[in-house]
Amino acid sequence: MCLLGPDKNAAIRAQAQARQSQREFDYQSKALKFHNKETSYVRGKNVATIGLSRARSDAYYAALHTQGKGRQAKEALVRQYAAKQKGFEGGRSRQIRGGRDNEFLALLAKQSNIENTIHQTFGRNMAIAEKGMQRQYMNTVAKNRESLGIAPSEFGPPTMMPPRDRGNPLMNLISFGASMVNPLAGLGFNMGGVAKGLGFSGGMVKGG
């Protein structure tokens, strides 16, 4: 005979189990979404790094292009100066010598300007360009990190599961005994009538 009654907390326990299952599903779903974002984050970081490298290469080649143009300009100036010197050939006057000197000084000044431009291109201008590239790279990395979001936190405390409540075995036994009183009482009454019908009286049996 089982002295345990039905579980009074069955419905509450079922609800707790349902909440636990939903929590597990939500956590796994968030973890999967974060994993996908993390993959995109790594890919975006690599793209940003490659972009920075390419920007630096482009700036360097642009500086080399400027340097090449400057050297071509210097060569052109020398040719122009040489061509003008032919006009002074055979002249010995101070005016002619002064013209040559002025042309030569003008050539030196123009060459100096070209060299200064080349120096600025590989120096100050390159430094400014580097700062701009770094700023753009950091902004890209920050936006990429922001799109990643925050990783799912810990699962958290366990779902409270109420214990089973089948009542007190002793009280269940008493209740069971009480439920059997009426049937037994009725059975005792009927047995008394049967005893009288068989000749039993006062608890003594008459001899034949």
Are 103 and 86 in contact, with CB atoms under 8 Å apart?
no
Select from 140, 138, 133 the least CA-distant residue to 59.
133
Q: What is the pLDDT of residue 33?
A: 86
Q: Is the pLDDT of residue 173 over 70?
A: no
What tens digit of pLDDT does each residue of 109-144 get? Answer: 998 999 999 999 999 999 999 999 999 999 999 999
Predicted TM-score of the model (pTM): 0.52
Please give the pLDDT value at position 204. Answer: 45
Supply the DSSP symbol for 7: -
What are phi and psi for residue 189, nearest 5 degrees? Answer: -65, -45
- Give which of 13, 17, 20, 14 is closest to 155, Cα–Cα: 20
Q: Is the predicted pLDDT of residue 45 greater than 70, yes or no?
A: yes
| pLDDT over 50 (residue 194) | no
String of DSSP letters for 141-198: HHHHHHHH--------SPPP-PPP----HHHHHHHHHHHTHHHHHHHHHHHHHHHHHT
Q: What is the DSSP letter of 184?
A: H
Q: What angle do CA 85, 86, 87 make, to 5 degrees?
A: 90
| CA 55 – CA 50 distance, rounded (Å) | 9
**pLDDT, mean of residues 92-114:** 75
Tell me the average pLDDT across 35-39. 86
Mean pLDDT of the chain: 76
What is the rounded distance in angstroms from the CA atom of residue 138 to the CA atom of residue 115? 33
pLDDT tens for 138-161 read 999 999 988 888 877 777 777 777
CA-CA distance, 80 to 74, in Å (whole number)?
A: 10
pLDDT band at 183; cut points 50, 70, 90: low
User: What residue has token string 């968030």?
Assistant: 30
Specify the higher pLDDT residue, 97 or 62. Answer: 62
pLDDT, position 106: 87
Residue 120 identity = Q
DSSP 159: P
